[in-house]
Amino acid sequence: MSSDKIEAGTITLVSGKGDEIEAYHARPVDAESYGSVVVIHHMPGYDSSTKEIARRFAAHGYGAVVPNLFHRYAPGASAGDGAAAARAAGGVPDAQCIEDVSGAMTFLKAQPGANGKVGVIGYCSGGRQTYLVACNLDVDAAVVCYGGGVVATPDQLTPERPVAVIDMTKDLRCPMLGLFGVNDANPSPEHTARMEEELKAHGKTYRFHTYDDAGHAFFWVERPSYNAEASRQGWHEIWDFYGEHLEG
Amino acid sequence: MCTYLTSTEKVAGTGLGARGWFPIERAVVYFDHPQEAPVEHALCIDFRAGGDDPSQRVAVELDARSARTLAESILATLAHDEVVALGVN
């Protein structure tokens, strides 16, 4: 019988630019060789729901790290206070997000048993950030879960987010899986169609699934937006996708 | 959906937090996923202190209808004859 033992807890992560942030690490204890995933939290913050996702990856045999992208705005604060502080400051700059995910990838690759392959998955604003980092870092597989704001008009650009992520598509370095809800307004089916158009135009490898009766945040089990069927199918897609690109 | 729609207003007043009253300097208003309210989206307001303590805030999450009703109520109250007579607007 194979071991299902996992270990999880808070760590200090060195960002790509050298400073330290809080993060949550979960890993399979007895696995001899395993792939890894950086889990990017949603706009409501570095919360228990996202840490639970990291443990779920570990239970399925992957190493996982959730970097607290809001750490610098409110060190040691609750998820809610951290999210509020980050929003009040204008939100996480894209460049900073890339450095934090870069640090998480370096950490995961250095763990005993890690096979060197690292995927990224993100939810909500983290879905957009997943698209962003997959175009800027050597990620092996990216899963975008209802990432809003990938398609952005010029008036939506800010000093923190100066470039529309969709315009980075030509630099995408890995296969992408996109999971969306048909009733979502951001990203809407029109937005995801626009993403597909761009991915096709640049010859990128991707799979998109848009679930009926689902809206935004259908994976979030503690909220009214949770959709059991979309979530069930979505997790199957994730296991297949990461099994294909991160194992071995 | 998740939104980045956020407006920040300078305000002057006091808020009652877990450790008592404190001066508030900013109100951050946004419409997005709430932390706690059992709705998919909420009109959220953070009344924030000026210092570095991220917990020095008073947060409310209102469904859209409640938020609109509250805004109208605030404006109606400030427009009331008795308030106008005070010359504070």
Residue B1 in any domain: the answer is: no
By C-alpha distance, the chain A residue nearest B29 is: A88
pLDDT digits (tens, 9 = 90+) for A77-133: 999 999 999 999 999 999 999 999 999 999 999 999 999 999 999 999 999 999 999
Residue B89 in any domain: the answer is: no
Number of CB pairs, chain A paired with chain B, less than 8 A apart? 74
Domain residue extents for chain A: 6-246
Residue B24 in any domain: the answer is: yes
Query: What kind of fold does domain A6-246 have according to CATH?
Result: Rossmann fold (3.40.50)
* Inter-chain residue contact B2 with A149, CB threshold 8 Å: yes
Q: How far is B85 from chain A, CA to nearest CA, in Å?
A: 36
For residue B53, the 8-state DSSP code is: -
pLDDT digits (tens, 9 = 90+) for B11-23: 999 999 988 999 9
Q: Which two tokens stand for residue A168?
A: 């980075």
- Specify the higher pLDDT residue, B2 or A226: A226
Kindly state whether B51 is in contact with chain A, defined as any CB-CB distance less than 8 angstroms: no
User: Domain total for chain B?
Assistant: 1
Q: Considering only the beta carbons, identify the residue of A45, A81, A224 that sits closest to B38.
A: A224
Print the domain residue range for B29.
Answer: 6-84
Q: Tell me, what's the ipTM?
A: 0.83
